[in-house]
Copies of this chain bind each other. A is one copy, B any other.
Amino acid sequence: MFRVTPASCADCDAGKVGFCASLNESAIDRIAAISRELCFSELQIIAQEAAAATTAFILRKGMIKVSHTLTDGRQQIVDFLTAGDVLIHHDTDNAVSATAEATTDVDVCVVSLVDLDALCAESPALGQSLLGAVLGEIDRKNNQVMMLGRKRSDERTASFLLDFSNRAVRRGEPGNRVSLPMSRAEIADYLSLTTETVSRAFTLLRDEGIIQLPKPHEVVICDATGLLEIAGGGANLSVR
């Protein structure tokens, strides 16, 4: 395990970052077995070591944000990755500039896509679960589309909290005490709102008795059913 310095990945933000999706335990273990481990410190850009190589990362600890940029410079955070999520650094013909950046200190497993393909050829079951995970990710993406397209500010905020709670549960952490390592500005960016609007939504949920805000980056869910009701449903949103 070694540390990549910021200087060594200076111009990597032009690379195309593919996707993130939760895999099942055995698939992660199989991939981890052929991988090397890496650490990134907060704010570092996660990128391939050799600029041309296509690479997969499995996040073991910490949080990564994935952003896309339009030609006129407007950007948006399109995903937050947590432990167990996969990031594939693949090249496409798309004119999209994608960046993955650590929002906390992170540990990742690194696998070249060549090795991953070889592993899939050897074990078709792994290929299937990989494909299944990516298909599930498309469901999540369609859900995100519906969130931006059909939900109002407080519903989006509720969906966000519920999503993070559900993902925490899947990682084996308690679901009623959600830690949000990112800033209000980053939450707002992801939800296509402003910091002010997100803040108002948090205040509203607190005043309704649905959540508590002991600290800005820690949310206690008091009424998960009420939260789900405001969130309005969608993929991966349920009370656990």
A229 to B: closest C-beta gap in Å: 9
| Residues of the B chain whose Cβ atoms lie less than 8 Å from the Cβ of A137 | 138
Given contacts A94-B235, A139-B96, A235-B94, contact A131 B132 (CB under 8 A): no
Contact B128 A117 (CB under 8 A): yes
Number of interface residues of A (CB under 8 A): 54
Contact A70 B146 (CB under 8 A): yes
Given contacts A74-B232, A130-B131, A233-B95, contact A68 B148 (CB under 8 A): no
Contact A192 B139 (CB under 8 A): no
A141 within 8 A of B: yes
A197 to B: closest C-beta gap in Å: 13
Contacting residue for A94 out of B76, B88, B94, B136, CB 8 A? B136
Q: Mark A76-116, 1 if CB is under 8 A from B, else 0.
A: 10110000000010101011101000000000000000000
User: Can you list 13 A-B contacts (CB < 8 A)?
Assistant: A70-B234, A71-B232, A78-B142, A78-B146, A92-B135, A92-B136, A98-B142, A120-B124, A120-B127, A131-B131, A134-B138, A141-B145, A148-B192
